[in-house]
Amino acid sequence: CLRGCLGPPAAHSLSEEMELEFRKRSPYNYLQVAYFKINKLEKAVAAAHTFFVGNPEHMEMRQNLDYYQTMSGVKEADFKDLETQPHMQEFRLGVRLYSEEQPEEAVPHLEAALHEYFVAYEECHALCEGPYDYDGYNYLEYNADLFQAITDHYIQVLSCKQNCVTELASHPSREKPFEDFLPSHYNYLQFAYYNIGNYTQAVECAKTYLLFFPNDEVMNQNLAYYAAMLGEEHARSIGPRESAKEYRQRSLLEKELLFFAYDVFGIPFVDPDSWTPEEVIPKRLQEKQKSERETAVRISQEIGNLMKEIETLVEEKTKESLDVSRLTREGGPLLYEGISLTMNSRLLNGSQRVVMDGVISDHECQELQRLTNVAATSGDGYRGQTSPHTPNEKFYGVTVFKALKLGQEGKVPLQSAHLYYNVTEKVRRIMESYFRLDTPLYFSYSHLVCRTAIDEVQAERKDDSHPVHVDNCILNAETLVCVKEPPAYTFRDYSAILYLNGDFDGGNFYFTELDAKTVTAEVQPQCGRAVGFSSGTENPHGVKAVTRGQRCAIRAGESSRHERSTWDTSSNALSLWSHCLVLPGPAVNGIQVGKGVKTGSDAEFLLPSLGPTSAVLVQRVGPAGKEMSLGPLRNLPCPLGSSS
């Protein structure tokens, strides 16, 4: 049939190596050089960009593109991907417009993406109807009877067709394909249509999405809302889209055959979709897969536990070898006048520990305490828990960023917010200098905290204000093991506490051994006193109960890794708060970061592309600014950004 249709060219088939070169877009590497040499810059730029999209790690091509950008006559529009798939181009454009709160402009692109997707899907299916790939066999060595040969070939064709889902959801700029790519079109569309007041289409798209995920709670709530707005009777007459129904039915029939082949013939099949109903999979295969998953989880846990044990042993050995050198190295200059060394590691019966006084003045202590009482929020910094460590104390806190934001809004004195920032920076510099560190420290966390004793519950009290713990690992005091994993601050290297007052009862800071019982040193808080220490297993610590009054302090965590810094320590950092900074960024729940979205609790993002790392204030909002109880909910992936 192929020879009859195509003639002599049908006798030639591409090798796997040649197909791989085309998938890697290698021809465009040669094309961009050829076009450049014959002075066709527009085509050279397009070819170079096309190659680079598929090979983002290719440094030589990156340099070529940088060079092209400096050349006269080269326009931004010349940097285009010649291999982009129409459905993917329309989808990405539609999602970008959607994320920028332009639903009316997004709808035609998302609808076009759907149309182009089904065209590409049919083409991909057709290309699967080729000759049998012997998959490592020489065709002369392949030995099968007629029925086995038909089965092998047909299963290969079906597997190829199912793989079209993954192929069409992939883009060279992404490590993984878009998850649930086709259903996500209907998810975006239902909310976009709602935003432009087209409830008929919103109902249709919501029902189409529910074809794939019938138990999706958010979408069922949305559908109920749309039906109420449109009228229940009218909404009932609207069904899901026929194209999606046919697609789903066809895909399920293919899956049934492939799962049957997996169950009976042992031919593996990895389902590319998460929406496949469980009843499609044979019971025996379900049980087998469940057993395999449990085995995989068990093996993974065993390997993970073994790796943690090895990591802990290595850290302990490294710590032992470093302790001596650290003891001899610590004791660097304190940098500022008026600061005195009160206790070093030797007096504190440990390593990498220090207590110093006079870090800030009485006036500065009082100003920071006033800032706490005005700006702090109950439970702030601990996910809103008003008593995160003990029910016998109330906890109030404020971050540097929140204080600066409130200062900009005129809700607290801006001078006090600046003082908070400057004092925290001062502590960082002192720690870095005193411990004579080879690498600079960056703040990974800073928090102005007050703990207030609840008078009526102090009589029978036996608990601590903050139980013994290690900052960068989870301590198991019974086994004397500390595991580096979240929610511990695994990236933290040093910690510091700067006290603002001493007019309260209890609240002493203390160090212990790994058993969390043997106290090795105790420190009484007072204004201007700072405790600094390394954050590892050498320094378990806790805080005794505050039984009367209020204990206030600045807690700071420091990391030697700049990517863990919450803000740049240069003089540029504060200047960013003097004006609004609006920048493009990753999509967060469908909302583009940096687009001036209003109201909510603040979040902090790093934008390393700005040069010195800058803090950007981003607001969290409900779906499209609607009241959550009055409108539909949005539960979408974030396809435009690498993270959110």
Q: How many domains does the chain have?
A: 4
Distance CA 305, CA 285 (A): 30
Give me the chain's average pLDDT, please.
80
Arithmetic mean of pLDDT, 474-503: 87
pLDDT score, position 641: 34
Q: Annotated catalytic, 451?
A: no
The structure tokens listed for 355 are: 């207590």
> Final residue of a domain: which of 538, 554, 574?
574
Q: Regarding predicted confidence, which is higher, 50 or 601?
A: 50
Lowest mean pLDDT among 94-108, 306-320, 359-373, 419-433: 306-320
Q: Is the pLDDT of residue 398 over 60?
A: yes
Q: Considering only CA atoms, which of 309, 265, 318 is closest in space to residue 534? A: 318
Asked whether the predicted pLDDT for residue 389 surpasses 60, the reply is no
Residue 292 in any domain: the answer is no
Q: Greater confidence, 610 or 21?
A: 21
For residue 561, name the pLDDT band (cuts at 50, 70, 90). low
- Mean pLDDT comparison of 288-292, 406-410, 420-424, highest-scoring range: 420-424
Q: Given a cut of 60, is residue 84 above it in pLDDT? A: yes
Shared-domain flag, residues 58 and 97: no
Does residue 585 register a pLDDT over 70? no
Task: Say whether pLDDT at 390 is over 80.
Answer: no
Averaged over 219-237, what is the pLDDT? 92
| pLDDT per position as a tens digit, 246-290 | 999 999 999 999 999 888 888 888 889 999 998 888 888 777 777
Is 507 in a helix, a strand, or coil?
coil
Task: Please indicate, yes or no, whether residues 62 and 188 belong to a single structural domain of this protein.
Answer: no
Shared domain for 272 and 396, answered yes or no, is: no
pLDDT-derived band at 37, boundaries 50, 70, 90: very high
Is omega for the bond preceding 487 within 30 degrees of 0, making it cis? yes
- Between these two residues, 169 and 392, which has the higher pLDDT value? 169
Whether 473 is covered by a domain: the verdict is yes
> Is 80 exceeded by the pLDDT of residue 637?
no
Residues 615 and 521 both lie in one domain: no
Domain co-membership, 91 together with 224: yes
pTM of structure: 0.48
Q: CA torsion, points 583, 584, 586, 590, in degrees to nearest 10?
A: 110
185 and 173, same structural domain? yes
In a domain, 6, yes or no: no
Is residue 567's pLDDT more than 50?
no
Cβ proximity of 613 and 562 under 8 Å: yes
Q: Specify whether 472 is located in the same domain as 614.
A: no
Given 551, 561, 564, 634, which residue is catalytic?
551
DSSP code per residue over 404-435: HHHHHTTSS-HHHHHHHHHHHHHHHHHHHHHT
Residues 6+ apart with CB under 8 A from 408: 414, 577, 578
| % of the chain exceeding 70 in pLDDT | 80
- Determine the pLDDT at residue 331: 85
Predicted confidence (pLDDT) at residue 25 exceeds the cutoff of 60: yes
User: 266-270, 365-369, 562-566: which has the minimum mean pLDDT?
Assistant: 562-566
CA distances from residue 33 to 29, 48, 63, 134, 329 in whole angstroms, order as listed: 7, 8, 13, 38, 56
**What values do phi and psi take at 381, rounded to 5?**
95, -15
Residues 467 and 425 in one domain: yes
506 and 588 belong to one structural domain: no
Residues 210 and 340 in one domain: no
Instruction: Give, as one character, the DSSP assignment of residue 132.
Output: P
What CATH code is carried by the domain that includes residue 488? 2.60.120.620
- Percentage of the chain beyond pLDDT 90 is 40
Residue 133 domain boundaries:
87-281
**Judgement on whether residues 173 and 38 belong to the same structural domain of the protein:** no
87 pLDDT exceeds 90? yes
Collapsing DSSP to helix, strand or coil, 471 comes out as coil
β-pair type (505-506, 546-548):
antiparallel
Task: Tell me the C-alpha distance between 411 and 182, whole Å.
Answer: 48
SS3 of residue 79 by DSSP: coil
437 and 451 share a domain? yes
Supply the DSSP symbol for 128: T
Closest Cα partner for 607 from 597, 617, 621? 617
Range scoring the smallest mean pLDDT among 240-254, 396-410, 412-426, 499-513: 396-410
Q: Which residue has the higher pLDDT, 550 or 604?
A: 550
> Phi-psi region for residue 611, left (φ > 0), alpha (ψ -120 to 50) or beta?
left
- 313 — pLDDT class (breaks 50, 70, 90): confident
pLDDT of 324-354, one tens digit each? 455 447 888 998 999 999 999 999 999 899 9
- Least confident stretch, 10-19, 272-281, 360-369, 606-615: 606-615
**Domain end call among 61, 83, 105:** 83
